[in-house]
Amino acid sequence: MNKPTPFGKKTFAEYEKEVKEYKAFNLKAERVELGLAQDLEKSIKKSESFVKNSKKVREKIEKAFKAYNDMWEKTRIESKAIESQIPINNSRIKEATTAAKELGVNINDIKGVGLLEESNKDLEREINLLKYPSIR
């Protein structure tokens, strides 16, 4: 069996040894490639998970920001409405004061004047709360 083969000067034993070494080397290479492929797959799955979670967080932030912008616009509209009502109330108070002087009546005896003055104070406070809300 140690006779040279027709393919060259090597014996069948030497060829068998080389084949075994070649197979062992290739098996190790395949294991390394398989291990590397598994590591790559794990990294891909983890990265995809990060992207998926990031997208969910981003969508929630965008939704909250839209809700904030919508409420801020409503606040702006409400503030303008209140700001336009205060001069109207002041005008009515002034008319009542003038009428009370002409009639010789004490302004404090007119029931609506005091309530309207209190209402104006409440409106002023509401404007400040709308413009500068305290976040709790």
pLDDT in tens, 24-44: 666 566 666 677 778 888 999
- Among residues of the chain, what percentage have pLDDT more than 90? 50
Residue-range domain boundaries for the chain: 12-131
SS3 sequence of 3-29: CECCCCCCEHHHHHHHHHHHHHHHHHH
Residue 48's pLDDT is what?
94
Q: 3 pLDDT exceeds 80?
A: no
End-to-end CA distance of the chain, in Å? 92
- Among residues of the chain, what percentage have pLDDT more than 70? 77
Measured at the alpha carbon of residue 106, what is the angle toward residues 101 and 110, in degrees to the nearest 5?
105
Q: 87 or 13: which carries more pLDDT confidence?
A: 87
- The residue-averaged pLDDT of 5-25 equals 65
Residue 124's pLDDT is what?
94
Q: In this structure, which amino acid lies at residue 37?
A: A
The structure tokens listed for 98 are 């003038």
The packing angle between helices 12-103 and 111-131, to 10°, is 160
Q: 131 or 83: which carries more pLDDT confidence?
A: 83
